[in-house]
Structure 1
Amino acid sequence: MTDALNPALLPEGFYDVLPPDAAQEAAVIERMMAVLGGHGFDRVKPPLVEFEDTLLSGVGASMARHTFRLMDPMGSRMLGLRADMTVQVARIARSRLAGAPRPLRLAYAGQVLQVRGTQLRPERQFAQVGAELIGGAQPAADAEAALLAVEALQAVGVDRLALDLTEPTLVPALLGALGVARGVDASGVGGEAGTALRHALDRKDAAAVAQHGGAAAAALGGLLAASGPADAALAALAGIDLPAVTRPILDRLAEVVRLIRVSAPELMVTVDFVEHRGFEYHTGVAFTLFARGARGEVGRGGRYRANGAEGEEATGFTLFMDTVLRAAPPPQPPRRVFLPRGTAPGEGAALRAEGHVTIAGLEPGADPLVEARRLGCGWVLRDGRLDEV
């Protein structure tokens, strides 16, 4: 190929963010961060690149297949470009802030890079906003994370939200209990049958669950059928024969629902007892947030251990700004005022203090009205007054 590459052409999944979208994203992020800061979450700023073995340790192991890697020319060590900021905040908590009082509340905002997009999110680079509550093991911490995510979204005009709760440890505990009782492996259903069962649960395919569920088929089918609006879902558990090991898991889930109901009685809350996709490193109550009219989730979060299986308890959430911006109302454009060449600096400063955007003219002899129209200004300052163009 001898033709010059089109300078506007970018790799698949990468996009230029143009006016006014770039300004809207920055404003929305700062409003969200103000909400998180108001609840005592202190902002941290981890680097874009870390050593691969550090970035992908602990909870970061689940992000390995999403992570770009490159060789550091200065140290000849493999580096990873962050695909998620949660793992970096967990690292900061267990290292730089190991001696800070718990629970530790940290917030963040920044760009992440992933190897490939998905059908619902084709972007490979996008902004995240999130918060992590590290060192709090109580159900109140789970509820705080979910409610804070809701508040941050509502603060930027994303309403009509739905909060979908799940407990990723429930199905493994159920299968493990029944499997041990029947003398099979700890997964309850192993090998190809286990894979087929997991796919059936992901697809919410009741017939396939009955086919592949073995001794757990009836209980899993009951959980699948019970999933839905939170109050009805929890009430339906009384009719399902579940092993005792699942009771503490479900009791905690019910308590989190109760706490959320107290603070946000109008919020739509649903429960999916069998969902686990995207929650591979979570160890307790987890959630996904959806906004009516937006494609894909606007955020997700939940309980995990901050530095692997033996680490301290943590919970938090991440909001995906590409989806958030699609769900947020469009910004009201500020009044753009053209300032003819020679306008006193104080006049422009006064207009900007009132929230106007000023565009300074550069040509002393140019017609102010013509220049204002050409530069997209709806108003022009003349003789100390604002005239509409």
Structure 2
Amino acid sequence: MLHPALLPHGLRDLLPPDAQIEADTVERLMAILGHYGYDRVKPPLVEFESSLLEGPGVAMTHETFRLMDPISHRMIAVRADMTLQIARIATTRLVKAPRPLRLSYAGQVLRVRGSQLRPERQVGQVGAELIGAAAPEADAEVIAVAVEALTAVGVPGLSVDLTLPVLVPVILEALGVESRAAERIRAALDHKDAAAIAEIGGQAAGILGSLMAAAGPADRTLAQIQAIQLPERAAAEVAALAEIVRLIRRAAPDLMLTIDPVENRGFEYHTGVSFTIFARNIRGELGRGGRYIAGGYPAETGYIKREAVEPQPSTGFTLYTDTVLRALVFGPQPPRVFLPHGTEHAVGVEFRADGWITVAGLEPVADTAAEARRLGCSHVLADGKPAEI
């Protein structure tokens, strides 16, 4: 038999004081989002597969646990990402709410498998979505809000890496590159294989090689890619990126910005400027986000029968609480005082009002100091006052 403490790969218990620290951090992040007008919603842990994995949700198919609902006898899916649930809420339950619509959320997601950088399969998420806004100001806002929230909880050394996941597909389409060749090119770009790109030859090799080599600090990269002769639609995407960089600089002038114009992995359902947030000396990403389309679904899809949902330009971000916690430096916990058996309830009320954690004795003991020490207390109530042990 398995040991009762053994858990499936990628899952873990969060013990004291880490569980409380995570809960406090989540609430502090959510408070910042609320101050910016992002109203909190709470989607369910599971949904019908046909709604959770439709539209942009198709990109999460291989990450999603599915099972049969014993009540409806239909397939349901455990959410692997909350962004798509927020888009569903916005385009169904809140379809008549004024746009732009600002929503925030916090919760756990479960994925079929982890990655080398993130082996965890259950991950806490905190995020915000700005739905029904296409202007560059919307993209700049969500990045600025994410950075401010992380800064407020104490994450140092933040940097944001911007990317354009639609840029390469737009260029390949404009140059008439056929689909099988495009897949090989995409794989080469994902691995930053300059030699494989050079082997393509022709105009595509020149443009893509220059884009890949341009990755780096935002101002330098923008200057390099703006000097490349790009197809019209690709040039428009770069112009939008430049405006977003300008707006971010105005909101957060000290923020480190980099650009990787050919990065695509992890942004499969994004349709415009996207980003990843990092912190100095911290393994993994603190969060990511970007532009996508909410809605745009037909009136009938499989089991779903409803009014057609018009496509709505949207952008947002998701923060990963496990990485956020690794980036924080925590001070000492509030002091804990042991209240011997028989202490009046009002005494504990006063201590807690002053910020103490109280641990009440449930039965008489011969040595109250030893009992307090055994229960992890730093002080014990003696003669009406807290005495340090």
- TM-score calculated relative to the size of structure 2: 0.94
The partner residue of 1:76 within 49, 65, 73 is 73
State whether structure 2 residue 135 is matched by structure 1 residue 138.
yes
Which residue in the other structure is 1:250 paired with? Answer: 238
Q: Is 2:25 aligned against 1:28?
A: yes
Aligned residue in 2 for 1:123: 120
Contact 1:196–1:212 (Cα < 8 Å) also in 2: no
CA deviation digits over 1:55-110, x for unaligned, max 9? 10112111111110110111110000111101110000000000000000000000
What is the distance in 2 between the residues matched to 1:366 and 1:308?
A: 71
Q: Are 1:113 and 1:124, in contact at CA under 8 Å, matched by a contact in 2? A: yes
Q: Which residue of 1 aligns with 2:47?
A: 50
- Superposed, which structure 2 residues align to 1:103-118 within 5 Å? 103-118=100-115
Question: What stretches of structure 2 of length at least 5 have no aligned partner?
Answer: 298-309
Task: Please tell me the residue identity of whatever aligns with 1:350.
Answer: E
Kept in 2: contact 1:213–1:220 (CA 8 A): no
Deviation readout 1:324-352 (Å, 9 max, x if unpaired): 11112235311011111111211111111
Question: Residues 226 and 238 of structure 2 are in contact (CA less than 8 Å); yes or no, is this contact kept in structure 1?
Answer: no
Shift of 1:190: 3.1
Of residues 303-312 and 285-294 in structure 1, the stretch that sits farther from structure 2 once superposed is 303-312
Superposition RMSD on alpha carbons, in Å? 1.3
The runs of at least 4 aligned residues of structure 1 exceeding 3 Å deviation read none
Q: 1:241 aligns with which of 194, 212, 229?
A: 229
Matches of 2:295 and 2:283, distance apart in 1: 32
Q: Do structure 1's residue 349 and structure 2's residue 349 form an aligned pair?
A: yes
Shift of 1:242: 1.8
Question: Displacement, 1:308?
Answer: 4.5
Aligned to 2:380: 380
Aligned residue type for 1:344: E
Instruction: Please give the secondary structure, in 2, of the residue aligned with 1:144.
Output: helix
Residue 9 of structure 2 corresponds to residue 12 of structure 1: yes
What are structure 1's unaligned runs of at least 5 residues?
Answer: 180-187
Q: Distance in 2 between matches of 1:78 and 1:237?
A: 46
Query: Contact conserved, 2:103 with 2:129, CA < 8 A, in 1?
Result: yes
Shift of 1:384: 1.5
1:183-204 CA distance string (max 9 Å, x none): xxxxx2431x322211211122
Alignment of 1:161-176 (within 5 A): 161-176=158-173
- Which segment drifts farther, 33-42 or 117-126? 117-126
Deviates more, 1:295-304 or 1:151-160: 151-160
**Structure 1-normalised TM-score?**
0.94
**1:87 alignment partner AA:** L
Q: Distance in 2 between matches of 1:248 and 1:332?
A: 51
| Maintained 8 Å contact 1:189/1:213 | no
Letter in 1 for 2:354: E
Aligned counterpart in structure 2 of residue 190 of structure 1, from 162, 179, 185 = 179
* Cα distance between partner residues in 2 of 1:365 and 1:28: 37
CA contact (8 A) 2:365 2:371 kept: no
Q: How does 1:196-207 map to 2 (within 5 A)?
A: 196-207=184-195
Answering whether residue 144 of structure 2 is matched by residue 155 of structure 1, we say no
How many aligned residue pairs are there?
377
CA contact (8 A) 1:162 1:268 kept: yes
Which residues of 2 match residues 55-70 of structure 1 at below 5 A? 55-70=52-67
The C-alpha deviation readout for 1:104-146, integer Å capped at 9, x for no partner, is 0000000111111111111111110000000011000000011
Instruction: Please state how far the C-alpha of 1:168 moved relative to its aligned partner.
Output: 1.1
